[in-house]
Amino acid sequence: MKTPFKHSLLLISLLILFAGCSTTLTYKPSLLHFSTPETSGGFGEGTAELQLASGEPEYNLGTLSNNSVTSASSPISVSDAKGDVSNKLSLYIGILEKIDFYLDSNRIMGMKFQAFGSSRLSRKKGLKVSLEFRYGHKASNNTSINPFSSDTSIDMNVKDYSLNIGYRFNPEYLFYINTFRSENSVSSYQYSETLTNGVRTSFSSYTFNAPTSSQGILLGFNILQNNTTSMTLETGVSKTTWNNFEAITSFPIGINLGYIW
């Protein structure tokens, strides 16, 4: 009596493992920028930041079907994901007084060029204008082996351009408007196979590849609480589009906490 029970338990466990291999591929664009129009102010000056954002749409890119090889070039569905909070670490480091280098935890890097107004280091009130460009490649991969072999990977190439105009009212408070356009190329691949005594008994794969773009206007309020910390509140409206899929208008909101040196 114990043997059938053990076999049933093993079968259920294997089915759970197999179901776990069939992961739905998702993509969430990064819409908030938390970038003020001021550069750090000199070589080695900088800021380390923790960014929390909500209200960004989440796209379902598809999933595996049993014993089939399929592909798609547009999302299956989209949700507003209002309750979800995404996080990101970023770093600004001064190269020159009016040039900053940018790097974040998604492996995106960039440059900020301040075209008008004084830098953050001076804390002088007045109009500020800057241009920023970000570029990078984000990749993630999840691989497992026996009793089932599976792999899930998502790759994203990012090009992001923004114009930032703001005004510093005093040494503590600055308000800005950031207009941006982000062009992303999203690709993903997922497969799963079952091996019995070293022989493949089933195989499934799913491939997604499509370009997408987002553009919008962000409103931000930056507070320099003292010489070492800052807080930025940001919200706005943005539109994300794909080929052969509905355009989505989003209203993201978030907060940025920074350490300044």
The one-digit pLDDT tens for each residue of the chain (261 residues) are 444 444 443 343 333 333 334 467 888 999 999 999 999 999 999 999 999 999 999 999 988 887 888 999 999 999 877 678 999 999 999 999 999 999 999 899 999 999 999 999 999 999 999 999 999 998 776 666 555 566 778 888 999 999 999 999 999 999 999 999 999 999 988 888 887 776 777 888 899 999 999 999 999 999 998 889 999 999 999 999 998 899 999 999 999 999 999
CA distances for 182 relative to 50, 58, 200, angstroms:
21, 16, 42
pLDDT value of residue 12: 37
Where do the DSSP E strands lie in 28-104?
46-54, 58-62, 69-72, 77-79, 85-96, 99-104
Name the token pair of 232: 């930025």
Q: Alpha helix (H) ranges present in the chain?
A: 2-21
Name the token pair of 155: 């790759």
DSSP 11-43: HHHHHHHHHHH-PPEEE---------S----ST
Name the token pair of 108: 């995106």
Phi then psi for residue 124, to 5 deg, are -85, 140
Among all chains, which residue has been given the structure tokens 């935890």?
105
Tell me the pTM: 0.82
Query: From the CA atom positions of the chain, what is the Rg in Å?
Result: 23
CA distances for 106 relative to 29, 30, 44, 66, angstroms:
12, 10, 22, 32
pLDDT value of residue 200: 72
* Domain total of the chain: 1
User: Can you tell me the distance from the alpha carbon of 35 to that of 16, in angstroms, rounded to the nearest whole number?
Assistant: 44
Partners of 200 in beta bridges: 195
Residue 178: how many CB atoms within 10 A of its CB?
24
Contacts of residue 177, Cβ cutoff 8 Å, sequence gap at least 6: 164, 165, 166, 217, 218, 219, 220
Look up the domain containing 158 and give its range.
Answer: 2-260
pLDDT value of residue 23: 62
CATH classification of the domain holding 10 = 2.40.128
